[in-house]
Structure 1
């Protein structure tokens, strides 16, 4: 009888174990997106900001000689060499101007280089993101910004 009790007690003794986790890939922001200085006519239009940082106006948009700061967004993806990843960009985003009066502009048609997927050949890769700024007819003058930022997500494959 003593043997059976001893075996039951051993069965319920705690065993030490270890826990581990690995995050194989990460993304960090290097540079914010900035469309720079633009001038809009009463008809409005768009400004396409490419992933290389160049701008293309359409409609009633004029790009003045004083461009201000113009940059595509830049991110660094890091992880194990050889890992592949998928990039997810937002569908649209709103910039707001609140000093002169409540006004907004929509940013959409986000693009990235590389587009959709990438591979970490040396354990790191730079991703550039551009988009299109939609300027309304008689858009309110001001500095349009956001406080939350837009989301760029990478998922390893």
Structure 2
């Protein structure tokens, strides 16, 4: 009976020690959190992209406008009028890097619709707003003229997206 009492006593002491030791192994710590709220980005179009007057041949081709407003195209095409690159102003947080991206567009008119694509801008490889939160940049791109494109006035849209 003495052996049995020692085993029961030892078991009870072990159980009490085990339950009290698990409580002493816990700890609390206070976590920290931060946030940076940024001003919503706004973009406005200052100048509409205008390819000017383009005289084309029957074969079709791609007319390219640079972000400085210069146009060029296939041999046999001629250009006149006053072509202008698109111009945009971004308003956002001061001295903050942004990304600029484009969604292709379409020009519609009296003939088959023409694609607008391959956009470029002159805001540099890492566009950044200035100290007042402003960024002004120009946009060029390609106008894809279809074979036997009907003459006449065409207009359309494309999307410029600016993100932090």
The counterpart of 2:115, out of the listed 92, 106, 109, is 106
Q: Displacement of 1:47 after TM fit?
A: 1.1
**Equivalent in the alignment of 2:66:** 50
Equivalent residue, structure 1, for 2:109: 97
Q: Distance in 2 between matches of 1:25 and 1:95?
A: 27
Contact 1:48 1:132 (8 Å CA) reproduced = yes
- Aligned mates of 1:58, 1:93 — CA distance in 2: 21
* Secondary structure, counterpart of 2:113 in structure 1: strand
- Give the alignment's TM-score, normalised by structure 2: 0.70
RMSD over aligned CA atoms reads: 1.8
Q: TM-score, normalised by structure 1?
A: 0.73
The counterpart of 2:101, out of the listed 75, 85, 88, is: 88
Runs (4 or more) in structure 1 with deviation over 4 Å come to: none
Q: Which runs of 5+ in 1 are unaligned?
A: 1-20
Q: Offset of 1:134 from its aligned partner?
A: 1.1
More strand by share: 1
Q: Work out whether residues 107 and 155 of structure 2, in 8 Å CA contact, stay in contact via their aligned partners in 1.
A: yes
1:103 deviates by: 2.1
Distance across 2 between alignment mates of 1:115 and 1:131: 16
| 1:8 aligned partner | none
Q: 5+ residue gaps in structure 2?
A: 1-36
> Going by fraction, where is helix more abundant, 1 or 2?
2
Larger radius of gyration: 2
Is 1:144–2:154 an aligned residue pair?
yes
Q: How many residues align?
A: 127
Deviations 1:38-75 (A, max 9, x none): 01111122211000001111244222xxx223111100
